[in-house]
Amino acid sequence: MSFIGCLAIGLWYWVCQSDLSKVLIVPGDTYWMGLIIGLFFGNPAKGFMIAATIELAYMGVVGVGGTLPSDKKLAALIAIPLSLQLNLELGTALAIAIPFGMLGGIITNTGYALCSFTHEIMVRHVKEKKYGALYFDAYGYPLLVKLPLAVIPVTAILVRPRLLLLQDHSRRLHALLRRHRHLHCSSHREQHEPRRPQSHCKRVHFEGGLA
């Protein structure tokens, strides 16, 4: 997957985490994520199966008091493209999704903590009677805070396996070239070197028996 695709998935997660998901028509359900990413990779059936497996694992997860222990959206947006890109099985995809879901909970709660400073800004704007700035305080600041928290980790995680795949392909190509060169040199040496006469095996007769 290209860097643009990784960045698009990072922006997708940012929209799902922010209030833009209420305005923009962006699919935030796990099933839609699996179907769309699967269509991008040319295998929508497997993408949907991975999404359904992740959904089964997160059916009992409940956010108590507004906190999110684990985020199935990040788990799906990371595990589905990685599984399709690396051709992994469903069990391996689920094993990848669980820790990244926990990372999504940390990212979400960190965003809530960083957005708490907007309360003081809103109080100051009310005292100064700048009521027009309240809308930006309530929606603009959280969007700007959550943008790097959501986009940078997702993009970095999805780009890294692509670099590993390129390194693996380069190693395989280098090994194939070395093997081809070795075979070519061996055949060239056999053609130009004179053949040595084969030595016949000598038969050895043991006289007598064992003592």
Reported as a single tens digit per residue, the pLDDT across 11-56 is 989 888 877 766 666 677 888 888 899 998 889 999 999 999 988 8
Q: How confident is the model at residue 190, as a pLDDT?
A: 56
pLDDT beyond 80 at 155:
yes
Residue type, 169: H
* Cβ proximity of 17 and 146 under 8 Å: yes
Residues 6+ apart with CB under 8 A from 14: 20, 146, 147, 150, 151
Q: How confident is the model at residue 39, as a pLDDT?
A: 92
Q: Which of 48-62, 104-118, 174-188 has the lowest mean pLDDT?
A: 174-188
pLDDT beyond 80 at 206:
no
- Give 201 or 4, the one with higher predicted confidence: 4
Q: How confident is the model at residue 142, as a pLDDT?
A: 83
Residue type, 102: M
Q: Which two tokens stand for residue 143?
A: 């969007």
Q: Which two tokens stand for residue 34?
A: 């699996």
What is the rounded distance in angstroms from the CA atom of residue 66 to the CA atom of residue 29? 19
What is the rounded distance in angstroms from the CA atom of residue 180 to the CA atom of residue 201? 35
Residue type, 35: L
pLDDT beyond 50 at 200:
no
